[in-house]
């Protein structure tokens, strides 16, 4: 079962706010994720952005009115509502929020919305005083009671010149919220800690020892856990990635920083998933000044860093679930199962590195899950986003002693 949005049918509703231009980029991102998007615009939205742009990007006719002349369009608002697997209204004006809270159906979008049965995401965007008004706040409460999801607007400088909440979040943040509509909420109420990325061990102020970990697997797990309702803490070494929206992000640099952050957060967590490629060795002495290249030869003396997984395993409570990752070039099974036992893990994900489509930096991964009871499960090549959800499915199935 895939919880990702690839292949899904999505309807994008665009209403008459200044932020309508951002929904063009949102549409582009949705299409890039492999979704089929149909766009419904209000007549007022067409004053801000032309339907042609949405038509070109979605490769679908944009719906603007209920009363179009072609036969095929006669009851298209009902067909589209039956086919939709998610609806996102971005930007959502005070007007559409009020109309939908009151059940009014006087144009294509509001009529379509009454027939929708799939999950709906509202992205309100308006002047701060409008947003704070009693009417808008009451209407938003009603929409939440209907079971719709609300993405809070960002605070900042608004087009009308005032500063405060009301700005439409950036398109990648809205895309993330759309993705969240498809995930079960089976981690609601759980604290999940994920570690990701490489660490850097300083040689001198301008050089360090590190590894090629991109952080993609850990960030995918953090994002998936947040979509499934968990309160996620992502502790990450330096990567080129943007932390997923809605997770608490703790940036670290060295293995020692990572150990300190992990151990200080540990007791609050129900689930700990350690994907970080933490350096096993660091220079025994760090030069306070840049080592000059004129120096004929440089021999580094290395010492062991703290084994964080082992320290976490030793402190593990009986109601905590601990998941490790083992990236190996050879002898994966022996090494992974050895770690599983010695570090008191519930599950370890073995990764053979060395091929372009799995392991470090790739967007896909191939893995084997090894369980505490001695069983294992071979996982075929899949996207890291799908693998993240599959891992969480398995974690959700692990029984702990409370």
Q: Just list the catalytic residues.
A: 160
Kindly state the smallest distance separating residue 66's Cβ from ligand FMN, in Å: 13
> Looking at beta carbons only, is 4 or 93 nearer to ligand FMN?
93
> Looking at beta carbons only, is 58 or 93 nearer to ligand FMN?
93
> Looking at beta carbons only, is 127 or 337 nearer to ligand FMN?
127
Kindly state the smallest distance separating residue 136's Cβ from ligand FMN, in Å: 8
Residue ranges in contact with ligand FMN by CB under 6 A: 15-19, 42, 44-45, 93-96, 125-126
> Looking at beta carbons only, is 125 or 382 nearer to ligand FMN?
125
> Looking at beta carbons only, is 17 or 359 nearer to ligand FMN?
17
CB–CB of 50/62 below 8 Å? no
Kindly state the smallest distance separating residue 368's Cβ from ligand FMN, in Å: 51
CB–CB of 193/265 below 8 Å? yes
> Looking at beta carbons only, is 16 or 215 nearer to ligand FMN?
16
Kindly state the smallest distance separating residue 47's Cβ from ligand FMN, in Å: 7
- The 3-state secondary structure of the chain reads CCCCCCCCEEEEEECCCCCHHHHHHHHHHHHHCCCEEEEEECCCHHHCCCHHHHHHHHCCCCECCCCCCCHHHCCHHHHHHHHCCEEEEEEECHHHHHHHHHCCCCCHHHHHHHHCCCCEEEEECCCHHHHHCHHHHHHHHHHHHCCCEECCCEEEECCCCCEEEEECCCHHHHHHHHHHHCCCCCCCCCEEEEEECECCEEEECCEEECCCCCCHHHHHHHHHHHHCCCEEEEEECCCCCCCCCCCEEEECCCHHHHHHHHHHHHHHCCEEEECCECCCEEECCCCCCCCCCCCCCCCCCEEECCCHHHHHHHHCCCCCEEEEEEEECCCHHHHHHHHHHHCCCCEEEEEECCCCCCCCCCCEEEEEEEECCCCEEEEEEEEHHHHHHHHHHHHHCCCCCC
Kindly state the smallest distance separating residue 50's Cβ from ligand FMN, in Å: 15
> Looking at beta carbons only, is 23 or 42 nearer to ligand FMN?
42
Sign of the CA dihedral running 117, 121, 125, 128:
positive
Kindly state the smallest distance separating residue 158's Cβ from ligand FMN, in Å: 8
Name the β-bridge partners of 379.
Answer: 367
Kindly state the smallest distance separating residue 18's Cβ from ligand FMN, in Å: 4
């Amino acid at each position: 079962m895939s919880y990702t949005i690839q292949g899904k049918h999505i309807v994008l509703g665009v209403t008459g706010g200044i932020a309508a231009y951002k929904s063009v980029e949102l549409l582009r991102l949705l299409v890039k994720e492999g979704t089929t998007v149909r766009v419904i615009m209000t007549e007022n939205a067409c004053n801000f952005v032309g339907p042609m742009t949405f038509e070109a990007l979605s490769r679908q006719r944009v719906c603007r009115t209920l009363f179009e002349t072609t036969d095929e369009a006669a009851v298209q608002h009902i067909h589209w509502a039956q086919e939709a697997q998610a609806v996102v209204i971005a930007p959502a004006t005070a007007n559409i929020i009020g109309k939908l809270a009151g059940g009014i159906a006087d144009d294509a979008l509001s009529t379509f919305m009454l027939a929708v049965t799939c999950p709906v995401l509202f992205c309100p965007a308006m002047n701060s005083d409008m947003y704070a008004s009693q009417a808008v706040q009451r209407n938003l409460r009603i929409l939440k009671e209907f079971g719709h999801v609300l993405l809070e607007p960002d605070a900042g400088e608004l087009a009308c010149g005032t500063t405060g909440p009301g700005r439409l979040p950036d398109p990648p943040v809205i895309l993330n919220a759309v993705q969240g509509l498809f995930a079960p909420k089976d981690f609601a109420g759980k604290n999940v800690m994920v570690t990701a990325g490489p660490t850097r061990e300083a040689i001198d102020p301008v050089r360090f020892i590190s590894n090629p970990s991109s952080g993609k697997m850990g960030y995918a797990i953090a994002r998936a856990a947040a979509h499934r309702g968990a309160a996620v803490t992502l502790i990450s070494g330096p990567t080129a990635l943007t932390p997923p929206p809605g997770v608490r992000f703790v940036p670290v640099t060295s293995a020692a920083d990572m150990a300190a952050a992990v151990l200080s957060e540990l007791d609050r967590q129900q689930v700990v998933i350690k994907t970080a490629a933490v350096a096993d060795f660091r220079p025994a002495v760090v030069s306070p000044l840049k080592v000059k290249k004129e120096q004929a030869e440089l021999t580094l003396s290395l010492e062991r860093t703290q084994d964080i997984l082992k320290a976490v395993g030793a402190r593990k409570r009986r109601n905590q679930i601990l998941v490790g990752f083992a990236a190996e070039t050879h002898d994966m099974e022996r090494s992974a199962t050895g770690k599983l036992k010695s570090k008191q893990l519930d599950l370890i994900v073995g990764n053979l590195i060395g091929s372009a489509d799995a392991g470090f930096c790739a967007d896909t991964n191939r893995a084997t899950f090894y369980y505490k009871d001695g069983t294992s499960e071979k996982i075929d090549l899949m996207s890291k986003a799908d693998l993240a959800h599959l891992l969480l499915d398995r974690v959700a199935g692990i029984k702990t002693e409370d």
